[in-house]
Amino acid sequence: MNSLRNKLRTFFYGRYGIDQMYYGLLGLYVILFLLQVLLDWEILHGFCGLVLVYALWRTLSKNHAARRRENQVFLKLWGPVKTELILLRDRFRDRKNARYRHCKHCHAILKLPNKRGNHTVICPKCHKRFSVHILF
Residues pairing with 112 in the sheet: 99
| Closest CB 106 distance from Zn ion, rounded Å | 3
- Give me the half-sphere count of Cα atoms (radius 13 Å) on the Cβ side of residue 1: 0
Report whether 120 contacts 101 (CB < 8 A). Answer: no
Residue 56 lies near Zn ion (rule: CB under 5 A): no
| Closest CB 121 distance from Zn ion, rounded Å | 9
For Zn ion, which is the closer residue by CB, 95 or 125?
A: 125
The interface region with Zn ion, picked from 5-13, 64-72, 79-87, 122-130 by CB under 5 A, is 122-130
Residue 123 lies near Zn ion (rule: CB under 5 A): yes
Q: In sequence order, which ranges of the chain are alpha helices (DSSP H)?
A: 2-12, 20-39, 42-60, 64-93
* Residues near Zn ion (CB under 5 A), total: 7
Report whether 41 contacts 35 (CB < 8 A). Answer: yes
Residue 126 lies near Zn ion (rule: CB under 5 A): yes
Site residues for Zn ion, window 57-116 (CB under 5 A)?
Answer: 103, 105-106, 108
